[in-house]
Amino acid sequence: MATGQTYDKTFKREAVNLVHTSGKSQRQVAEDLGIAMSTLSRWCSELAANGERAFVGSGNLQPEAEEMRRLRRENDVLRQERDILKKALTIFSHP
């Protein structure tokens, strides 16, 4: 396996499917596909845990993580706006 190799969602699903349907061990399937055993094991775990939401891709987040990121960003903007208003109030309240 080449370092930094990326695999698409379809390949990952098919690899996991082979583990479940071929009668071969994860190790044998990994060797047959030319991928690391740990990689295939991680894919199996991810698919089992996340089902259809597994393998979102590089740079893409699960919906919950994306929502959390959006809310944190919004919270940062609101804090900045609040701080600006506090400073403005301080400036304009002094004679």
Domain ranges (residues) in the chain: 1-58, 61-95
- Inform me whether the pLDDT recorded for 53 exceeds 80: no
Among the CATH numbers 1.10.10.10, 1.10.10.60, 3.40.50.2300, 3.10.129.10, which is that of 1-58? 1.10.10.60
Give the residue-averaged pLDDT of 80-90: 92
According to the model, what pLDDT value does residue 61 have? 61
According to the model, what pLDDT value does residue 59 have? 57
According to the model, what pLDDT value does residue 3 have? 53
Measured CA distances, 3 to 36, 43, 55, 76, 84 (Å): 11, 17, 19, 37, 48
Give the residue-averaged pLDDT of 11-35: 92
Give the phi and the psi of residue 88 in degrees, each rounded to 5. Answer: -65, -40
Give the residue-averaged pLDDT of 13-31: 92
Q: Are the CB atoms for 26 and 44 separated by under 8 Å?
A: yes
pTM comes to 0.55
